[in-house]
Structure 1
Amino acid sequence: MAVVADALLVIIFAAIGRQSHDETNGVVGALSTAWPFLVGLAVGWALVFAASRRNRTAPHPLRAWPAGVVLWVATVLCGMLLRAATGEGTAFAFIIVATLFNLLTLVGWRLLAQLAAARRR
């Protein structure tokens, strides 16, 4: 479920960005903007799964640190590198917005889940 939630958050990021720039093509347009970040997210998940398989005491993938941070950094870094490699925009303002939005969502929901779990205990 976490993989799906993360992917949906990345697609929402792309959709909001496209809508704020009055770009068209709806879902297809959002997916065309999101794909580099989805690839980055997949890289991040591969790193998290690899770490958890190597080390049985590795943090759960739903933890904000380090799993959420790894996912966030991989998503933004790979996404921007792929956008640059394919001739898409990587304006400084876009990098800042993408970095902050994905930090807020990919790490943020994990922090909220951890706080809720701690309150239940």
Structure 2
Amino acid sequence: MAIHEQSHSATAIGRRTATLALGDVFALLIFAAIGRASHGEEAGLTALAQVAETAAPFIVGWLAVAPLIGAYRADVTGAPPRMLTRTALTWLVAWPIGLGLRALIRQTTIPLSFALVTFITVLTIMILWRGAFTLIAARRS
């Protein structure tokens, strides 16, 4: 492969990774907005700072774990079955980190019901988002 092709390929992979990571953050912001709205708290665009604060522990947990588990690797992001499996594994590891950070920040315990709803809701959102991303990326390749 020529140097120009390698550079172009690296740029495309970098763009793909950045798009996926930004989408992951957005997905976690959606989770936080849904959660806040379900508890009667502000969750719209006017409450973006509050939504971001609610999502922050989970964003930190996800972004700390995802690269280590390979959730942004090209061979994963280009194959729907691998992407969905890696997404579930990443959330399984990031979930307790996010819950732990949330507990530390709020100086409170985490109710089991909240932990389970968080796990299922975020997993569903992430699988929908990342599955769609992978299908679209596969069609463009």
Query: By the TM > 0.5 criterion, same fold?
Result: yes
Count how many residue pairs are aligned between Structure 1 and Structure 2: 115
Residues 51 and 107 of structure 1, relative CA distance in 2, 3 Å threshold: closer
**How far does residue 11 in structure 1 lie from its aligned partner after superposition?**
0.5
TM-score after normalising by structure 2: 0.65
2:51 is aligned, of 5, 8, 30, to 30
CA separation in 1, counterparts of 2:137 and 2:48?
34
Alignment deviations for residues 55-114 of structure 1 (CA, whole Å, 9 cap, x no partner): xxx841461122x12321233111101112221452222111110011112123334555
Q: Do the aligned partners of 2:23 and 2:129 also contact (CA within 8 Å) in 1? A: no
Alignment deviations for residues 44-65 of structure 1 (CA, whole Å, 9 cap, x no partner): 222134995xxxxx84146112
Give the unaligned 5+ runs of structure 1: 53-57
TM-score after normalising by structure 1: 0.75
Q: Do the aligned partners of 1:43 and 1:74 also contact (CA within 8 Å) in 2? A: no
Counterpart in the other structure of 2:22: 4
Q: Do the aligned partners of 1:36 and 1:80 also contact (CA within 8 Å) in 2? A: yes
Aligned residue type for 1:83: R
2:89 is aligned, of 66, 70, 73, to 70
Identity of aligned residues (%): 30
CA separation in 2, counterparts of 1:108 and 1:94?
21
Q: Do the aligned partners of 1:72 and 1:107 also contact (CA within 8 Å) in 2? A: no
Residues 26 and 39 of structure 1, relative CA distance in 2, 3 Å threshold: same
Moved more, 12-21 or 70-79: 70-79
Give the unaligned 5+ runs of structure 2: 1-18
Would you say 1:83 and 2:99 are equivalent positions? no
Give the ranges of 4+ consecutive aligned residues of structure 1 lying more than 4 Å apart after TM superposition: 49-52, 112-119
Which structure 2 residues correspond to residues 1-121 of structure 1 after superposition, within 5 A?
A: 1-24=19-42, 26-49=47-70, 52=73, 59-61=75-77, 63-66=83-86, 68-86=87-105, 87-88=107-108, 90-112=110-132
Alignment deviations for residues 15-37 of structure 1 (CA, whole Å, 9 cap, x no partner): 11111111237111111110000
